[in-house]
Amino acid sequence: MKKRDRTNSWTTQSRFGSHSSMVVEPNEIDQWNKNMNVRLEKDEVLCEDDEHYYITKKNRLDTGMADPNRYGKKVIFSK
């Protein structure tokens, strides 16, 4: 049986979920300031994980569930 490769670990609370500790202020990110076409809705936040920045809904934070915005189409900046 092949063992799972655990050398690529993550530094966030979970691998697929979004957490309030991951929220960042957009104007502190250089890529955000360069692309002024990107906007947040009232119910959205910008989050940072080990690989990229992405936009998610506030109600997705700290739910204990995977957030499709983290690994889906809302990724806006790679690191």
Distance CA 6, CA 27 (A): 34
Give the highest mean pLDDT range of 9-13, 57-61, 73-77. Answer: 57-61
The answer to whether 61 and 20 are in contact (CB under 8 A) is yes
Tally of domains in the chain: 1
Give domain status of residue 40, yes or no: yes
**Count of all residues that appear for the chain in the document:** 79
Give domain status of residue 5, yes or no: no
Give domain status of residue 13, yes or no: no
Question: Phi, psi (5° rounding) for residue 26?
Answer: -55, -40
**Of 24, 30, 33, 28, the residue nearest 54 (C-alpha):** 24
Question: Phi, psi (5° rounding) for residue 46?
Answer: -95, 130
- pLDDT for 33-46, tens place per residue? 776 677 899 999 99
Give domain status of residue 66, yes or no: yes
Give domain status of residue 61, yes or no: yes
Give domain status of residue 43, yes or no: yes
Domain that holds residue 43: 20-78
**pLDDT reading at 2 higher than 70:** no
Give domain status of residue 12, yes or no: no
